[in-house]
Chains A and B, each alone.
Chain A
């Protein structure tokens, strides 16, 4: 097991934590507004797993797991943006036409959390994980 003392590992764990919170919020949002998308859920969940495994595993293969986490979360947020387009379109135009549900607040919140997740994970990618 890797020591989780390195900046890279800590950042990855922090990123995983933020992503986990995002995932929970997304699940609640998806359930409440009927916007649940399995692909987004899987992408974010995989992002959490990759980030955690990167921080905890002491293995050469694990060296790219934080990169994989960035990929997963980026994919997830991109898909979430596409799915939430009706909300953006309706709310920004102050109309009802695109079949939106809910307000922009949870959408923006989830996207911001995803971006924070990605940025922290990118920091993890740019830094080295010290090993025993």
Chain B
């Protein structure tokens, strides 16, 4: 054998290996091209405008930063504005929960020592903008107090050696490690001890109920207890002047222990993003007067909410799980995806609505509210034992007095207008929040028809301007009457306005407002109230008759609003289940989870396999495709959604393949040159847009969504939406899968940082303002995850049972404002199921309610698609339900619908045309139209990395072929020579 043979063979082998590896990598990269393009900041469309002498302004969406998205200076100015807004949001979103002995603000020149692993390994983010430095808690305190006044010994020597707290384990230094450095604060740096405590959840990762040390995950862990005990001893010994705790968490920590450890002041800052700690430091030092209010309840015992019985670690497995796995078809992941369920047994009593309603019933002596059921102490249920800080709570460095001046009903807007005078009665300028709550009647009709009523619910709010000491401001708060309606599933099968007494109450928080209502009813502390209320802060009226007419038609489309979600309730499958009711707290509290066996009907529905071509379906030839009607994408910009003639004319121009190509999404979709449709890019989520087109740097990470909500300032909501939209445009995006669409159903939610609050109405107001601002700036605001995706544990395909009242009044309410008032043009469905119906196949949800009742015109995506998860592959059911595009789909859905059309299913072609209309409608009402005119031509640009991969594959393939040929030739020659020699 010749040496040449082995060399060529070896080279051929190397080439074969590299070629096949490159092909493999290329296959994956091409499938997820959008994600690669996004990561590499590559645009795949170029707009070429033919100059015919006419001036056309194609900057349809513009801002003070211009529309030259490649301009580095503009991008930097934008990010500077974003940084400033984030500091403002952190300032207004930081809540002062406790401030004994005027511990805060810290005086100028105060010397402090920083404690807590969370001070160094914080729940925050870093900046990748080179000229905007990350603001850590420590650097922020050094900035406001002076570096020489901040003792960072523990951070430098102890916390820097530790990891970050995770969703299952609290990482805190052993007290011995802390004490080893106590000399550094014995004689200085002891005006205050600043302690930062952190909890961290994340996608797919709820906070555990219990930490690794067996203690409540959201309570203090063993090392934290030791740290707080030590600091109390140090303070008692006169070493520290005060103890200040900063809660750096979006999980609502248990805070009943603050007084026990001598904590003077406590702040909640949540997750302040990349630069927000500066705002927190400004509050601590009094540069800014705190004005944030809680958007969740901070319980003494995080496990005391009834929702916890079926949530997170308490997610339940079917009683007959083996039978389910043996019977059902979608048993991917070894059955894991169909094994679990949760029941929203608490009904509407989520967060403060549970604690406050039970409190009122305890005061009034009704509903067995003082029974031991659900009590954290084991004795009779007592509000003070359960709630540390209620919803809407927050202190200031000054004091305010709020006087209810009057309430008027404005029939034109269907709003009550609540006029309140706010007076700064303290000595420091500051902002206040006017919170308006409502109580609606809970009478015999409601009890008979299982219509539950929270004793108090937020219905409106306004933040004041900065009010100087001694000065006043009059604020008018609009309250939508719709918020006073209750969903009556059993009786009216629609929304009702109950007969009886209504109350509107102004309060410093939910509990204060309820106390005011109780005062109006004649109750006092003698009846067990925690404090006397002020009847003067309530407005009451009586409605003589039950009104089932006002909201029986959609406010937006006029279609009938009636029961649509029977299938989400266990009773639909013949299983009796009693939801929590204030008529009998003791008898209905979900003390223990009920084990449910999936019935035959449930298992059939779990298979998601019900599609049949409708008998009256059109035939494929009934539609015209591939026509040339002279319409291009930009021509559709101002076409009304209901102009069927023009839309059909435009849709007729598409081929089936072109329409199908708009369905798969990999953080974007390719353009269609022939119809003038540019490529689109989309990104995830409300915390950061993406990479700037001009520099490739990632945009700043924003404060968390709850931080924005905690400002209780609609101006902040709007500004966040506006600036995030402009950032998105500067990143080449036309859509952000924003978040904000789910609820803080329990304190443990892994993605609480993306969602607004535990309250549906507050979420409604926040998302409607954000959505309106984003859409106005040409970016599609995609609410996610629609709907009931309120936990991360077992989120894939989780069967979620609830009743329609809770679904409509709380969980759908979260998103409703974004669509109905904000005009959001996109939505992402959830992984979970409503009952056992996968959200992305739920036609009642996506078509009847979303489009029918709410008038949604945009497009609908799934959450992350994967053909490996069989429950996500019921294509006909998803297409029929109203889905229009598919997140992270490398092309499976496009192939599927083409096959259905090829097989002659005209109904599927009709669905495809509808999907295309919605996909185009969302795109043409976005920043994607910028730069386009009738003189424009869209040209697809092959990304450089695709060229590189193809070139590499070609080189390796050529090398393989050449080397193989040379090798074979060499072998043949060798054979011939051997034959000659042997001959």
A–B Cβ pairs within 8 angstroms, 28 of them: A8-B6, A60-B972, A60-B974, A64-B964, A64-B971, A70-B16, A74-B19, A77-B21, A78-B20, A79-B24, A82-B24, A82-B27, A93-B203, A94-B203, A96-B795, A98-B864, A99-B332, A99-B866, A99-B867, A100-B333, A100-B868, A101-B332, A101-B333, A121-B13, A122-B13, A125-B9, A127-B10, A131-B1
Chain B hits for A125, CB < 8 A: 6, 9-10, 12-13
Q: Is the Cβ of A99 less than 8 Å from the Cβ of B333?
A: yes
Q: How many A-B residue pairs have CB under 8 A?
A: 118
Chain B hits for A95, CB < 8 A: 203-205
List 5 extra interface pairs beyond A67-B964, A126-B13, CB under 8 A: A60-B971, A118-B17, A122-B17, A126-B6, A126-B10
Chain B hits for A66, CB < 8 A: 9, 13
Interface mask (B179-214 → A, CB under 8 Å = 1, otherwise 0)? 000000000000000000000001111000000000
Main secondary structure of the interface of A (DSSP, over half): helix
Specify the chain B residue showing the minimal Cβ separation from A32: B334
Q: Is the Cβ of B334 less than 8 Å from the Cβ of A34?
A: yes
Q: Is the Cβ of B3 less than 8 Å from the Cβ of A71?
A: no
A97 lies within 8 A of chain B by Cβ = yes
Chain A hits for B967, CB < 8 A: 63-64, 67
Interface mask (B845-887 → A, CB under 8 Å = 1, otherwise 0)? 0000000000000000001101111101000000000000000
Q: Which B1-42 residues sit within 8 Å CB-CB of chain A? A: 1, 3, 5-7, 9-10, 12-14, 16-17, 19-21, 23-24, 27-28
CA distance A94 to B866 in the complex (A): 16
Closest 3 CB pairs of A and B: A99-B868, A78-B24, A126-B10
Specify the chain B residue showing the minimal Cβ separation from A97: B864
Chain A hits for B964, CB < 8 A: 64, 67
Specify the chain A residue showing the minimal Cβ separation from B6: A128
B975 lies within 8 A of chain A by Cβ = yes
CA distance A66 to B10 in the complex (A): 9
Q: Is the Cβ of B869 less than 8 Å from the Cβ of A99?
A: yes
Specify the chain A residue showing the minimal Cβ separation from B21: A78
Chain A hits for B866, CB < 8 A: 86, 97-99
B81 lies within 8 A of chain A by Cβ = no
Min Cβ gap B902→A in Å is 26
Chain B hits for A36, CB < 8 A: none
A29 lies within 8 A of chain B by Cβ = no
B85 lies within 8 A of chain A by Cβ = no
B17 contacts which of A74, A79, A82, A97 (Cβ < 8 Å)?
A74
Residues of B in contact (CB 8 Å), total 46
Min Cβ gap B164→A in Å is 13
Q: A82-B27, A128-B1, A128-B6 are in contact. Are A98 and B868 (CB under 8 A)?
A: yes
Chain B hits for A34, CB < 8 A: 332, 334
Chain B hits for A79, CB < 8 A: 24
Min Cβ gap A62→B in Å is 10
Chain A hits for B21, CB < 8 A: 74, 77-78
Chain A hits for B3, CB < 8 A: 128
Which residue numbers of B lie inside 8 Å of A, CB to CB?
1, 3, 5-7, 9-10, 12-14, 16-17, 19-21, 23-24, 27-28, 202-205, 332-334, 337, 795-796, 831, 863-864, 866-870, 872, 888, 964, 967-968, 971-972, 974-975
Specify the chain A residue showing the minimal Cβ separation from B14: A122
Min Cβ gap A116→B in Å is 12
Chain B hits for A78, CB < 8 A: 20-21, 23-24
Specify the chain B residue showing the minimal Cβ separation from A86: B868
Q: Is the Cβ of A101 less than 8 Å from the Cβ of B204?
A: no
Chain B hits for A74, CB < 8 A: 16-17, 19-21
A129 lies within 8 A of chain B by Cβ = yes
Chain B hits for A99, CB < 8 A: 332-333, 337, 796, 866-870, 872
Residues of A in contact (CB 8 Å), total 38
Specify the chain B residue showing the minimal Cβ separation from A63: B971
CA distance A86 to B24 in the complex (A): 15
Q: Is the Cβ of A67 less than 8 Å from the Cβ of B13?
A: yes
Interface mask (A60-92 → B, CB under 8 Å = 1, otherwise 0)? 100110110011001101110110011000000
Min Cβ gap A70→B in Å is 4
CA distance A66 to B967 in the complex (A): 12
Chain B hits for A118, CB < 8 A: 17
B9 contacts which of A60, A75, A100, A126 (Cβ < 8 Å)?
A126
Min Cβ gap B630→A in Å is 43
Min Cβ gap A48→B in Å is 16
CA distance A98 to B27 in the complex (A): 17
CA distance A71 to B412 in the complex (A): 75
Specify the chain A residue showing the minimal Cβ separation from B12: A67
Chain A hits for B972, CB < 8 A: 60
Specify the chain B residue showing the minimal Cβ separation from A69: B13
Q: Is the Cβ of B13 less than 8 Å from the Cβ of A63?
A: no
Chain A hits for B17, CB < 8 A: 70, 74, 118, 122
CA distance A131 to B971 in the complex (A): 14
Min Cβ gap A102→B in Å is 9
Q: A101-B333, A101-B334 are in contact. Are A71 and B202 (CB under 8 A)?
A: no
CA distance A74 to B24 in the complex (A): 10
Min Cβ gap A93→B in Å is 8
CA distance A121 to B203 in the complex (A): 43
Q: Is the Cβ of A97 less than 8 Å from the Cβ of B1?
A: no
CA distance A131 to B831 in the complex (A): 63
Q: A96-B796, A97-B796, A97-B863 are in contact. Are A81 and B24 (CB under 8 A)?
A: yes
Q: A64-B971, A74-B16, A122-B17 are in contact. Are A82 and B28 (CB under 8 A)?
A: yes
Specify the chain B residue showing the minimal Cβ separation from A75: B20
CA distance A101 to B870 in the complex (A): 13
A127 contacts which of B6, B337, B870 (Cβ < 8 Å)?
B6
Min Cβ gap B169→A in Å is 14
CA distance A96 to B871 in the complex (A): 14
Specify the chain B residue showing the minimal Cβ separation from A83: B868
Min Cβ gap B10→A in Å is 3
Min Cβ gap B979→A in Å is 10
CA distance A18 to B964 in the complex (A): 25
Chain B hits for A100, CB < 8 A: 333, 868
Q: Is the Cβ of A60 less than 8 Å from the Cβ of B975?
A: yes
CA distance A51 to B332 in the complex (A): 36
Chain A hits for B974, CB < 8 A: 60
Counting chain A CB atoms within 10 Å of each CB, the highest count among B10, B332, B831, B867 belongs to: B10
Min Cβ gap B737→A in Å is 13
Q: Is the Cβ of A126 less than 8 Å from the Cβ of B24?
A: no
B205 contacts which of A60, A86, A94, A122 (Cβ < 8 Å)?
A94
Q: Is the Cβ of B16 less than 8 Å from the Cβ of A71?
A: yes
Min Cβ gap A67→B in Å is 5
Chain A hits for B869, CB < 8 A: 98-99
Chain A hits for B14, CB < 8 A: 122
Chain B hits for A64, CB < 8 A: 9, 964, 967-968, 971
CA distance A38 to B974 in the complex (A): 38
Min Cβ gap B59→A in Å is 37
Q: A60-B971, A97-B864 are in contact. Are A129 and B1 (CB under 8 A)?
A: yes
CA distance A81 to B14 in the complex (A): 19
CA distance A77 to B972 in the complex (A): 31
Min Cβ gap A11→B in Å is 11
Min Cβ gap B147→A in Å is 36
